[in-house]
Structure 1
Amino acid sequence: MAELATIARPYAEALLKAAVETGADLDGTAALVEELAAIAANPHVQQLAESPKVTDEQVYDLFAGVARSALPQLAQNFLRTLIANGRLPALPEIAAQLRARVNEHKGSSDAIVHSAFPIDEAALADLTATLEKRFGRKLNLSVQLDPALIGGIRVVVGDEVLDTSVKARLEQMKAALTA
């Protein structure tokens, strides 16, 4: 069987194209697909979807019923297509590729800021401006608390990492002293 990334690519591209053509909110579409991917990742949902006794319409009704809000027409068509083609297992990869394509379309990137302590709004705004200047693009920041860092921050943007945490500095000192 083909890799999930190969299967997911045309679905993500087609969904982005349809969202742009219909004027749909790109971030909202990506968030909705991520929600559908979370539903599809549930082992009970997977078992039900694979059952030969369950119709495609019943699987669709399950997704529509579990989703937090009513599915727009674009999402309904997308979900029905995935179910009909037996591609629900690829939904998490489709969501990841769609998010990457939406960011690329908007000229931005997702960034995760790991911090030992909560960051207030003013400091986060300053940090965002500094990081955007450092990485040379608009960033969509999300903050995750990680007390193991002791202090400072660790920023992950795609495959780039900027680690200014106390933990990283201690590791560098340890390596220098034992070398």
Structure 2
Amino acid sequence: MAELTTVARPYAEAVYSLAGEQQSMAVWSEALSWLAAMVKTPGVAEVITHPKHTAQEVEALLLDVLAERGNGEVKNFIGALIENGRLLLLPEIAEQFELLKAEAEGVLDAVADSAFPMTDVQKSELTDTLSRKYGKTVRLDVRVDPELIGGIRVLIGDDVIDASVRGKLHAMAASLKN
């Protein structure tokens, strides 16, 4: 997966830069989202990767589905991806683009795995605590993971805050082995 990110990042950065210059973040965000969803669809993925379809047919298909959601630059971008054989990178490019956009807006996405369902008050308190710690607005996605036994594990960017019973048991086992 790291290779996909490495290859997709320059495309996402180029698109982000272009969108910023043209003040068309919303257009690019919507277009990339639609394109990523199309490429993820098994039937469409088969069509765009099948050798019997020409680059022009694939481009026409994508532009037809995209319709008015894209501008001339989006169409040129699709052509460049097809020409370079990078069309299947669209989901990763879209994800990288959204990360760049969120970072510029001062927003961090966090995933909190909790052993038990969290109340709205607990979610709000956790969001506020993370926002203060990172100095940015935090969008929190909470999931229930009973394997944690108790507590919570938060993933935010490259940081992992593990305050789960399972994590503490693993740490204790590792220290006993040493």
TM range (shorter): 0.7 to 0.9
Contact 1:112–1:143 under 8 Å retained in 2: yes
Partner of 2:147: 148
Which whole-Å CA distance do the structure 2 matches of 1:178 and 1:121 have between them? 40
Name the Cα RMSD after superposition.
Answer: 3.2
Aligned pairs for 1:95-134 within 5 A: 95-134=94-133
In structure 2, do the counterparts of structure 1 residues 70 and 91 end up closer, same or farther at CA, with 3 Å as the change threshold? same
**What is the identity, as a one-letter code, of the residue corresponding to 1:9?**
R
Which whole-Å CA distance do the structure 2 matches of 1:130 and 1:176 have between them? 29
Q: SS at the partner of 2:130?
A: helix
Aligned pairs for 1:22-171 within 5 A: 22-25=22-25, 29-30=28-29, 32-42=31-41, 44-63=43-62, 71-73=69-71, 75-171=74-170
Q: SS at the partner of 2:166?
A: helix
In structure 2, do the counterparts of structure 1 residues 112 and 6 end up closer, same or farther at CA, with 3 Å as the change threshold? closer
Partner of 2:20: 20
Task: Report sequence identity in percent.
Answer: 41
Of 56-65 and 83-92, more deviation after overlay is shown by 56-65
Contact 1:115–1:146 under 8 Å retained in 2: yes
In structure 2, do the counterparts of structure 1 residues 49 and 119 end up closer, same or farther at CA, with 3 Å as the change threshold? same
In structure 2, do the counterparts of structure 1 residues 34 and 155 end up closer, same or farther at CA, with 3 Å as the change threshold? farther
Unaligned runs of 5+ in 2: none
TM-score by length of 1: 0.74
Unaligned runs of 5+ in 1: none
In structure 2, do the counterparts of structure 1 residues 84 and 120 end up closer, same or farther at CA, with 3 Å as the change threshold? farther
Contact 1:64–1:71 under 8 Å retained in 2: no
Which whole-Å CA distance do the structure 2 matches of 1:63 and 1:14 have between them? 20
Q: SS at the partner of 1:10?
A: helix
Contact 2:31–2:70 under 8 Å retained in 1: no
Of 137-146 and 169-178, more deviation after overlay is shown by 169-178
TM-score by length of 2: 0.74
